[in-house]
Amino acid sequence: MSTSYRWVIVGAGALMTCVAFGAMFSLAVFLEPIAAETAWSRAGISSAMTLNFLVMGLGGFVWGAVSDRYGARIVVTIGAVLLGLALVLASRATSLPLFQATYGVLVGVAASTFFAPLIATTMAWFDTHRSLAVALVSAGVGVAPMTVSPFARWLIDAHGWRPAMLTIGIAAWILLLPATLLVRRAPAIAAAAPTDDAGGQDQRSAIFAALRSPQFIVLGLTFFACCMAHSGPIFHMVTYAMTCGIAPMAAVSIYSVEGLAGLGGRLAYGLLADRLGVKPVLVAGLTIQALVIAAYLFASRLDQFYALAVIFGGTYGGVMPLYAVLAHEYFGPRILGTVFGAAIMLSSLGMAAGPLVGGWIYDVNDSYAWLFIASAMVGLGAAAIALAFPPPVRARGVPA
């Protein structure tokens, strides 16, 4: 198979991450209308996103391991089917626990099938331009707020939140299922895939060695704190802007600006990491992220929100692909799906805290101020942990 096919993998991966994570993160747009219609608490609705991240964390590890062994196509096909089904069922939920189970658990399982398997598959196709390829696939996550979220807001305004969620679920099937047919294993990885018990045992030994290594411990802790820092501000940004007097559609546009900035940030940070090294770029990005989160406390006008959204989106979007690049440098391509899936599991635990804690803070204080203060402090902690990254050499006992 021609190596030019690797760019097809990138395109398919970007589309799938855009649709999957756009559907999941669109709950931020649905939060206000769902609460207004059902009288469910913000914390209760937000906990569906917390469940998303908890389930996605565990699922990312499991599906990453499955993709290492059997390839990513079967994994993302399962995810595409589940994502559409989950959204359709959530649109019909008549109680908060049922909504939490469908949107929280099922959407989380579906979303977990995409990121780690697609990133691992993409990196295996590239010997050069690897950082660019990873940035482009993960850019789908950044494009999502510019596409799915405004589409969801328009549907909600026109038809209400239930028809809007149903429509997005059907659209997910239409877009994702054909795209899964384009996913292929890299020829080198397909040829090296373990075919017997001895090969599988060697792979398991390499995974256990990787997960105990200092490289993985620092990678996982930094990823965890980074995501804990930005998850609450991202999820509650639309509602926070509305509490500051910003109109609903304009508030959604702030979310979209963050996504657009994240797209540019992924490319810019990837290029800087190739030139300056991953560690200094990551530490700088984490520090900027913490400072801009704190700056949101002083925003009150739409132009101020836009300015901060450009910086915030660029930094949190820019640092995210760097974790995959570090994982590849440390552990190589053969077990990358499993190892990066384990790192995603830790990051998802961090992501899970923000929506629920943010909703609880607002319910108790009628204000988001303490959410942004706490998130900024955690962000500075992430930058401090990142300073401890070992040199990017392979962990002992971990083959390429």
Q: What is the 3-state secondary structure (H, E, C) of the chain?
A: CCHHHHHHHHHHHHHHHHHHHHHHHCHHHHHHHHHHHHCCCHHHHHHHHHHHHHHHHHHHHHHHHHHHHHCHHHHHHHHHHHHHHHHHHHHCCCCHHHHHHHHHHHHHHHHCCCHHHHHHHHHHHCCCCHHHHHHHHHHHHHHHHHHHHHHHHHHHHHHCHHHHHHHHHHHHHHHHHHHHCCCCCCHHHHHHCCCCHHHHHHHHHHHHHHHCCHHHHHHHHHHHHHHHHHHHHHHHHHHHHHHCCCCHHHHHHHHHHHHHHHHHHHHHHHHHHHHHCHHHHHHHHHHHHHHHHHHHHHCCCHHHHHHHHHHHHHHHHHHHHHHHHHHHHHHCCCCHHHHHHHHHHHHHHHHHHHHHHHHHHHHHHCCCHHHHHHHHHHHHHHHHHHCCCCCCCCCCCCCC
pLDDT digits (tens, 9 = 90+) for 274-308: 788 888 999 999 999 999 999 999 998 999 999 99
CATH of the domain at 258: 1.20.1250.20
Higher pLDDT, residue 190 or 11: 11
Distance CA 336, CA 342 (A): 10
The radius of gyration computed from the CA coordinates of the chain, to the nearest angstrom, equals 20
Instruction: Please report whether residue 256 resides in a domain.
Output: yes
- The pTM for the full model equals 0.71
Instruction: Please report whether residue 270 resides in a domain.
Output: yes
User: What range does the domain containing 181 cover?
Assistant: 3-386
Higher pLDDT, residue 203 or 152: 152
pLDDT digits (tens, 9 = 90+) for 108-142: 999 889 888 888 888 888 777 777 788 788 777 77
Instruction: Please report whether residue 396 resides in a domain.
Output: no
Instruction: Please report whether residue 255 resides in a domain.
Output: yes
Residue 296, pLDDT score: 94
Instruction: Please report whether residue 216 resides in a domain.
Output: yes
Amino acid at 151: F
**Can you read off the two tokens belonging to residue 264?**
């540019």
Instruction: Please report whether residue 28 resides in a domain.
Output: yes
Instruction: Please report whether residue 169 resides in a domain.
Output: yes
Which of these, 141, 132, 163, 173, lies nearest to 15 by C-alpha position? 141
Confidence of residue 396 (pLDDT cuts 50, 70, 90): very low
Instruction: Please report whether residue 400 resides in a domain.
Output: no
Confidence of residue 189 (pLDDT cuts 50, 70, 90): low
- Over range 345-371, report the average pLDDT: 83
Apex 175 CA angle, 170 and 179, nearest 5: 140
pLDDT digits (tens, 9 = 90+) for 73-116: 999 999 999 999 999 999 999 899 999 999 989 999 998 898 88
- Over range 185-194, report the average pLDDT: 64
Q: Which range (246-255, 257-266, 310-319, 390-399) has the least confidence? A: 390-399
Tally of domains in the chain: 1
High-pLDDT (> 70) share of the chain, %: 92
pLDDT digits (tens, 9 = 90+) for 149-176: 888 989 998 899 999 999 999 999 999 9
